[in-house]
Chain A
Amino acid sequence: MPASVLVVARQVMREAWRRRTLPVLALFGCGIIIATAFLSFFQLGTEIKFFKDVAMTVIFLFGAVATLVLVSTQLSGEIESRTIYNVLSKPIRRYELVLGKFFGALAAIAVAVAPMVAILMFFMSVDQGGSLLEAVKAGYMLWLSFAVLSAVALAIASFSSSVVCAALSVLVYVASYLKGAVIAYAGMVTYSRLAAGAAQTFYYLLPNFENFNVRTAVVHNAVVPWAYLFRTTLYAAALSAFFLYLGTQIFEEREF
């Protein structure tokens, strides 16, 4: 990896820390998870399930918000604040800048998400509420989904403002979850093979964030197969590569 990618990545991490958004989100998330752990008005049995559900949801929500806040202000933010002139006049290739932003965001998000996962694991171990390894796997899967979301956001940021970037990224995220429903409806309302084929293509080509959702397995104490973890990692890598490629191509063509 070119050294400048690492330099930019480190800079993104420092920015994430200095701007306080990520630390505050992580702290808030940890607070909610801890508070939930001490709420004991739920009946026996449901309590640990509820705790795991809340913790997983908090990790997901805060992680996703952190990702969007961080990534949508990267490329577009540099352009809007005109700091891009200084950076691009240095001997850095544009794709290196995009990759640096991507890897920096991944590292910063990992640092933000890790304490929340650790707290989830701590209370799971106290309550004997399931395998800690599965919690780590679930945390990893969520992080993979944030990686893809970062790549999507960077691709959008390569041609739009930060606000548009954040809005469009959310849209892509929601659309990804809804596509299962769209395909199900397409299957119900059409008998045409062409339409069914189109729906199937749609399924395979659009980002599928549901792949990273192993919440049910963690909550209901199932085991996420290692092979699934490996394949999902491949999927995240392919999808991120696709969006980063799109982003760098658009960014290469941009004029400042």
Chain B
Amino acid sequence: MPPAISVHELAKRYRTTHRSDRAALLGLTLDVPPGEIYGFLGPNGAGKTTTIKLLLGLIRPTGGGGAVLGHALGSVDARRRVGFLPESPYFYEYLRGEELLHYYGSLFGLAERVRRGRVEELLRLVGLWDERRLAVRKYSRGMLQRLGLAQALVNDPDLVILDEPAGGLDPIGRREMRDILLQLRERGKTVFLSSHILAEVETVCDRVAILNRGELVAVGRIGDLLAGGREMELTIHGANGSLSRHIEAIPGATIHHGTDATVVVVPEQRFVYPIIDLVRQTGGQIVALHAKRERLEDVFVKLVGGRGGTAGAAAAPAQADRV
């Protein structure tokens, strides 16, 4: 099956003044496989929303190109099969929730009979059925977000593009959103999810791409991206000075003395056994020992290097693998 989204060297520069411009996206190359939930991550200003706008034809690329569901970027044919939830969705305030979905549905050319069934199904799915006759201006932020998701699904799209879908949602809302995304995947849909909430992304996404300063710094399956961590963490009671000296001799190891316990992190498993021996000899006690697995957040912070994000920007993007 062809990729749901495929872009090659996609670039966008914005003209800031008469003579200068600013690069928002620098030659992004990306393939989003069909039927997956694809996380699209990056700090503010990394170029995530720019990429989404390019995919939908809201802006035009200044370089490169690509296809969405086999159609040209931003083409009507592509948009016919795409659902889009913008960041902080804004709707016609004078419409009722139900009418809004009907309006968007009719823009897809759905017959009224089809629309009626679809609108009811979606309003029930996002939990707005009881508020369907309420004017949109009376909706809370979370309700708007739910309505936004409903309108993104009104055409039963093959590809759903979500820009910060969890914004404004409470924990229950987030959980429901996650369930909906998983349901979509089960039905073979592709979800392209741009988010700041890395824990969410880590839970639902099959793959992620991390963007920083307009460049791709990492892309791959979640498992692969996190697999790099082989560190071990030991928590020790009654450690003495000889342990500190021992740890200092191990390259890449750290030791942290707390009030109750000492926490030692070693880069590999082979360093653990000598430490256990040493603690035993000195009368100390190992109270915990576990593999220190990286979280997506760690990978993210490591790659974008804090706000400035210089780390990955210069490096070649990693393919599963921090390309």
Q: Interface of A with B (CB < 8 Å)? A: 3-4, 7-8, 11, 14-15, 18-19, 81-83, 85-93, 255-256
Contact = CB atoms under 8 A, between A and B. Distances in A.
Interface residues of B, number: 29
Contacts of B84: 85-86, 89
Nearest to A97: B107
A256 B94 contact: no
A83 B147 CA distance: 13
Most-contacted residue by chain B among A15, A87, A88, A91 (CB, 10 A): A91
A255 B109 contact: no
B180 to A, nearest CB: 19
Contacts of A88: 56-58
Nearest to B87: A85
Contact of B59 (A4, A83, A255): A255
A7 to B, nearest CB: 5
B195 interface: no
B48 interface: no
Contacts of B244: none
B194 to A, nearest CB: 14
B76 interface: yes
Given A85-B86, A86-B151, A91-B79, A15 B92 contact: yes
A86 B84 CA distance: 7
Given A7-B107, A11-B103, A18-B94, A89 B56 contact: yes
Contacts of B29: none
Contacts of A87: 107
A25 B91 CA distance: 25
Given A89-B86, A90-B155, A91-B77, 18 more contacts: A7-B103, A7-B107, A8-B107, A18-B94, A81-B90, A85-B86, A86-B84, A86-B91, A86-B104, A87-B107, A88-B56, A88-B58, A90-B104, A90-B108, A91-B80, A92-B76, A255-B58, A255-B60
A83 B90 contact: yes
A92 B107 contact: yes
Interface in B58-81: 58-60, 76-77, 79-80
B93 to A, nearest CB: 8
Interface string B82-106: 1010101111101100010001101
Nearest to A256: B58
B185 interface: no
A57 B21 CA distance: 51
A255 B56 CA distance: 11
Contact of A90 (B60, B99, B107): B107
A91 B76 contact: yes
A83 B107 contact: no
Contacts of B99: 14
Interface string B151-176: 10001000000000000000000000
Contacts of A86: 84, 86, 89-91, 104, 151
Contacts of A255: 53, 58-60
28 contacts: A3-B106, A4-B107, A4-B109, A7-B106, A11-B92, A11-B103, A14-B99, A15-B92, A15-B94, A18-B94, A82-B86, A83-B90, A85-B58, A85-B84, A85-B89, A85-B90, A86-B86, A86-B91, A87-B107, A88-B56, A89-B79, A90-B79, A90-B104, A90-B108, A91-B79, A93-B76, A255-B53, A256-B53
B57 A91 contact: no
Contact of A256 (B59, B76, B80, B88): B59
Contacts of A89: 56, 58, 79, 82, 84, 86
Given A255-B59, A256-B59, A82 B107 contact: no
Contact of A82 (B79, B82, B90, B108): B90
A3 B104 CA distance: 13
Contacts of A81: 90
A81 B99 CA distance: 18
A18 B99 CA distance: 12
Query: Which 6 A-B pairs rank lowest in CB-CB distance, beginning with the nearest?
Result: A18-B94, A89-B84, A91-B80, A90-B107, A82-B90, A255-B59
B22 to A, nearest CB: 14
Nearest to A15: B94
Contacts of B107: 4, 7-8, 87, 90-92
Nearest to A78: B92
A90 to B, nearest CB: 4
Choose among A7, A8, A256 the residue with the greatest number of B CB atoms under 10 Å from its CB.
Answer: A7
A14 B155 CA distance: 22
Interface string B183-204: 0000000000000000000000
A250 to B, nearest CB: 14
Contacts of B82: 89
